[in-house]
Chains A and B, each alone.
Chain A
Amino acid sequence: MNRVTPLFLIAGMLGLATAACAPSTSTSSAVGAVPASAVAAPSPDPRIGLRAGLFDAETAVWNLNVLSTTPPPNEFLGVTNSDLAFTGNYVIQGNYNGILVWDISNPRQPSLVVAYTCPASQNDVSVYQNLLFVSGEDFGARLDCGTEGVSEAVSAERFRGIRIFDISDIRNPRYITSVQTCRGSHTHTLLKDPNDNENVYIYVSGSAPVRPAEELPGCVAAPPSEDPNSALFRIEVIRVPVAHPEQAAIVSSPRIFQDLVAPETHGASPADLAEIEKAKARGAFVFQIQDQYQVLPDRYAARLLDSVVTARGGSGAPTSADSAALRDRIQAVIQQMVGRQPSGPRPGPSQCHDITVYPAIGLAGGACGGYGLLLDISDPVNPTRIGAVSDTNFSYWHSATINNDGTKILFSDEWGGGGGPKCRASDPMEWGADAIFTLENRQMRFKSYYKMPAAQTPEENCVAHNGSLIPIPGRDVMVQAWYQGGISVFDWTDAANPAEIAFHDRGPVNAAEMDDGGSWSVYWYNGVIVSSEIARGLDIFELTPSTYLSQNEIDASRSVKLDYFNVQGQQRFVWPTTFALARAYLDQLERSRGLAPDRLAAARASLASAEGASGEARRAPLSDLMAGLERDASRSSDAQKVRMLATTVRELAAAAR
């Protein structure tokens, strides 16, 4: 990016009102494979007007089944529950008072395995094999996990950084060591490099103030312009030898923000582009600054046209030739008025909030201050920035999610830090929301915003927060926490038209004034959806079939099994070859009308007869079906999906015994 010419500059110079570049609040209901007419959201929205209560609030639920809701153990009750990590049948839940481990073998009745007291905020957790990693950033956390706090401004007792535990015996976590960092760790990201089985890497995101050098030698609070060793404007990379976690140490401090001069823009959304086309059609003058198209308001167009007339020595009304001349030159004219190089490199944001790595494709999304970054992580110790976006509607870039194909990236904006009620009817739908980008040739292109659509009360802290993908094959579906806005499941297969397809919400914790609460994190893990409720404990859900999500799609998602899961270290979902997978694709083709009804019926019949048979009796109908599908694909409006189905059917046939 070599020039920065924000819109307001033009506005300032010309004093004109720029064309509306805010995306329209799209009401489109396209749901990925669902035709555009599809989603009939419940009306009136049952989330509005829910009665308050701490453990007895009224709830609203749509297309989800609540399997269990479990309060924290008494010693942890009244203390903030934070992030989640998963290993085997266990959920590890951070709490500002320590760590809770739940056995969710029976998700209807989670059982507490251990409540480990070790206070820190936020106690964000990650897990890898026998190792558990925990973030701390506040001033009261102690190296020895004590509860008495640290009252001195400089203290050798203080812990800020990453704690490492051995959970070989998960009932008895063993505190191995801690790696102290200059700004502590607000969150962290566990990176398992596919080419390195000896080590895992921890990217530390710290946003709190730099500690004094007297407390941790080498920490420098001065900016890099004054001291090249500044702890600002960098992340820390910790290498953890898996066999010797006690040797974990910081190995690099990449300055991934250096010289960041991305403009305050996300580029044009499809809605913006439609507006521009309309303006062009009515003869308006259109120009482009950075990625943003702008319409020249009529009165300024008139002024510029007059100057064209004057320049040719004419007088009176401009002719169509004058209009054409201006149209040819409008871009150059604007460029001349506003063009100017920025005066030098700037250091960009001083920290990231979250980095989500997707090692299978060598990319990471960094949500960093005022920017969303795209990072190349093929060298885990030296991540490099390959793209950056920013957005006037975004306050604070909080986290990133990449879709399974690596063709889209979603960033969320935790406007207000999560303690504010940012989902009131008066809060814009573009603020405190998600921004969805396509990812093509490592370029991010803005498509739309998504915000949980039900207005919440001023007594409910609510803004975009942590979520994860749900492995619905052939679609991009995600579940996301919105604090007291509850949890929202949405489809973003069509990046320009995300649509909500399920939700759960409670009334406020307190009817009279805002008490912190709501879902901090909600993640899919091996068939269930687990939510860490700040005040109320652990909630577990399952998806229920609806018009927008079939039982077959749910069954196919349940066939995906992970050994462990940290949301910031995305693993690629791979669907085993099952009849449910084939039927899921068929259901999607029914929705998209990518197959004619008679072909759908025939395909379903073939699958049914094959599933009930074995050997050749199974193989034959599958082979016939496959041949038919290959013909269908050439005629289908959804050829790609038909081919995905054909591939699954071929694999089913090959596996027939």
Chain B
Amino acid sequence: MSPRPQHPARALWPLIALLAAACAPSGGTQAAPGTTPAPAPTAQTAELEAIYRARADSARMRFTQADVHFFTGMIGHHAQALVMAALIPTHGASPALQTLGARITNAQQDEIALMQRWLRDRNQPVPTYEIEGITLTIHGADHAMHMPGMLTQDQLEQLDQARGQEFDRLFLSYMIQHHQGAVTMVDDLFQADGAAQSDAVFKLASDIQVDQRTEIARMKQMLETSNP
């Protein structure tokens, strides 16, 4: 297939003018903040929205079983990071680890929500999880506990027993192990035929990988400099 320039001969102008008018600030507000009320939906905006939604819907249906497997597993994987990070406030962790833990919690919760949404939008089973102390129960993803990098229950118990500097050290070692597992999961996904073809999957998976790689480097540095 060759590139296809397309020239816009379409009658978009009335619509554009209408949108422009709708979004122009009301006159005379000057430095005062203006809130422009939502324009009433019109036939044109409705038509645009219909095209937009139809295209988004059809892009949504472009996925493989490898993509589904990846997100299903990654939800449980992320949930274990939440279990680990939840220990930080009560285990004498250093301020630097408190900061790191708060960011991990925030990031992984948001990504879990995105992955659950991705599965739900494609009518796939959506894993859920419960956390009670260091016990993580995942519903709807049998393979989640066998993902690369997942801590064993023994490791979690060991972490739960540690305090202060020892907790910091163990947490960093285990979270590096855990994050490296996620990096491996993304690598595996990207090596599967037909996987991550859609923008949504590629973006989510590569964002996860980039974030976790960056965090691994940071944690290695923290770990290295904390070892006496």
Contact = CB atoms under 8 A, between A and B. Distances in A.
Interface of A: 4-9, 11-13, 15, 17-18, 42, 45-46, 50-51, 53-71, 73-75, 77-80, 96, 108-109, 111-112, 114-118, 121, 137-140, 142, 144-153, 171-173, 175, 207-209, 212, 261, 264, 340, 342-343, 346, 348-351, 369-370, 390, 392-393, 395-396, 415-422, 427, 431, 507, 513-515, 535, 539, 544-547
Interface residues on B, range: 35 or more
Contact of A112 (B8, B15, B17): B8
Contact of B202 (A66, A117, A138, A351): A138
Contacts of A45: 33
B221 interface: yes
B19 A396 contact: no
Nearest to A341: B225
24 contacts: A12-B94, A12-B164, A42-B32, A63-B31, A71-B19, A73-B6, A77-B55, A114-B8, A121-B203, A137-B206, A140-B198, A144-B2, A145-B3, A151-B193, A151-B194, A153-B190, A153-B192, A208-B190, A390-B218, A392-B100, A395-B215, A417-B207, A420-B111, A427-B106
B199 A109 contact: no
Contacts of A61: 25, 33-36
Nearest to B104: A395
A7 B206 CA distance: 31
A59 B36 contact: yes
A71 B15 contact: yes
A69 B36 contact: no
A11 B94 contact: yes
B211 A209 contact: no
Contacts of A73: 6, 8, 10, 12
Contact of A146 (B1, B24, B52): B1
Contacts of B110: 416, 420-422
Nearest to B208: A417
Contacts of B24: 65-66
Contact of B33 (A42, A65, A71, A139): A42
Q: Is the interface of B mostly helix, strand, loop or mixed?
A: helix
A207 B110 CA distance: 21
Contacts of A422: 106, 110
Contact of B8 (A115, A173, A342): A115
B79 interface: no
A417 B33 contact: no
B225 A507 contact: no
Nearest to A121: B199
Interface in B1-37: 1-8, 10, 12-13, 15-17, 19-20, 22-25, 30-37
B214 A208 contact: no
A153 B12 contact: no
Interface stretch (B40-48, B129-137, B142-150): B40-48
B45 to A, nearest CB: 4
A6 B37 CA distance: 50
B33 A535 contact: no
A207 B206 contact: yes
B5 A114 contact: yes
Nearest to A15: B164
B30 A209 contact: no
Contacts of B228: 340
Interface in B79-117: 92, 94-97, 99-100, 103, 106-107, 110-111, 114, 117
Contact of A71 (B16, B39, B190): B16
Interface in B154-175: 164-165, 168
Contacts of B48: 54-55, 71, 77
Contact of A415 (B25, B56, B107, B199): B107
B49 A4 contact: no
A61 B25 CA distance: 7
A15 B3 CA distance: 64
A143 to B, nearest CB: 11
B20 A70 contact: yes
Nearest to B107: A416
Contacts of A418: 207
A342 B224 contact: yes
Contacts of A145: 1-3
Q: Which 4 A-B pairs have the closest CB atoms?
A: A78-B55, A417-B207, A8-B94, A8-B96
A147 B1 contact: yes
Contact of A15 (B35, B92, B100): B92
B217 A58 contact: no
Given A121-B202, A209-B190, 20 more contacts: A11-B96, A12-B165, A56-B45, A65-B25, A68-B20, A71-B16, A71-B19, A71-B48, A73-B10, A79-B55, A115-B5, A144-B3, A153-B190, A208-B190, A209-B187, A264-B222, A390-B218, A395-B215, A420-B114, A507-B38
A138 B199 contact: yes
A117 B193 contact: no
Contacts of B34: 46, 60-62
B51 interface: yes
Given A60-B35, A209-B187, A9 B45 contact: no
Contacts of B204: 419
B179 to A, nearest CB: 13
A133 B20 CA distance: 31
A645 to B, nearest CB: 25
A343 B99 CA distance: 25
Contacts of B196: 138-139
Given A77-B48, A209-B187, A349-B217, A173 B5 contact: yes
